[in-house]
Structure 1
Amino acid sequence: MSDEFIKVPVIGTVVAGHSGRLDDYKGGTTSIIRLNPDIPENAVQGITEFSHLQVTWFFHLGSDEDVELPPRSPRDNPAWPATGGLVHHNHRRPARLATSFPRLIRVDGRDLHVEDLDADDGTPIVDLVAVFQEMLPRGPVTQPSWPTEILKNYWVPACERPTYG
């Protein structure tokens, strides 16, 4: 890997929401993105006119030792094809960054209340912006079948988890 780095500020932190590095059942959860005190409250002026945010966050529960770029099967399931580390949406990529698109519920000062943010409590937020439809992918989005299979329970609310036994 390159030894070139950039410095990225942390602009806020996730409060509440998920905890514990779950692979699934991320849906239906309300979280707060609490902006740091040095971010002026008027930095989000007008944001309530938008339904969703694009939030970039840091996988703080991972570590540099977790980075894994060679091909491997998602979730170590041999039923799914081995793909390179830059294909996977997890903490094992070099920068350990993720992007989520939670629904904005309301804003209270520097607290942005959101639903379906798949970052854990305490997660550092490095950027956020209102979602513009025109900035989403243009044209058809294609993918193999395995992401749909692997993520079938991703947005299921935790209260709807299947029980076994």
Structure 2
Amino acid sequence: MQAFEITPIGTVTNTRTDIQHTDNWGAVRSTITIDERFGDACLQGLDVFSHAEILFLFDRFPADGDFRTPRPYRGDPTLPPVGIFAGRAPHRPNHIGVTCCRIDSIHGRELTVIGLDAVDGTPVIDVKPTIAEFIPTDPTQPEWVTAMMSNYFKP
């Protein structure tokens, strides 16, 4: 396997500091400050989109682990075991997270979004506009996922 290096493009600022599995991310307002090396116009044109996909690093989780054994989601023994790529847990082989967030405002290199499930100080590795044609119109998922996620993005 070829190794690669990722350099963050910015940092998250918000009031959330708990890296454990927490719910109620829906009202979390986060400001992503993009590094000055991208210039003050780096977010130009993003303001006409309603949402953006934020890719970030789960930088506060251990880098080691055995990912071969399926485990119950969120460690909840009442949920079925799933393989590492059938979940969105922060403990991942490459520690990359992604969340689709509502854009609140843009000021120079500062992008403020609502609903980003990343804690204060999290490194951001990319920002992409959410484009409707990239969103499947009929995604399916198990009912237990719907139930488990019912409070995740509540305010």
TM-score when normalising by structure 2: 0.92
SS of 1:150's partner is helix
Residue 41 of structure 1: CA displacement? 1.6
Q: Which range moved further: 66-75 or 42-51?
A: 66-75
- In structure 1, what is the Cα distance between the partners aligned to 2:39 and 2:66? 35
Residue 54 of structure 1: CA displacement? 0.8
Aligned length: 154
More strand by share: 2
TM-score when normalising by structure 1: 0.87
SS of 1:75's partner is helix
One-letter amino acid of the structure 2 residue matched with residue 117 of structure 1: L
Q: RMSD between aligned alpha carbons? A: 1.5
The percentage of counterpart residues that share the same residue type is 29
Q: Any unmatched runs of 5+ in structure 1?
A: 158-165
Does structure 2 retain, via aligned residues, the 8 Å contact 1:69–1:93? Answer: no
Alignment of 1:52-131 (within 5 A): 52-66=51-65, 68-131=67-130
SS of 1:64's partner is coil
Q: Which range moved further: 122-131 or 8-17?
A: 8-17
- In structure 2, what is the Cα distance between the partners aligned to 1:73 and 1:62? 18
Deviations 1:71-118 (A, max 9, x none): 011122222111111111112210110111111111111111111111
Alignment of 1:130-149 (within 5 A): 130-137=129-136, 139-149=137-147
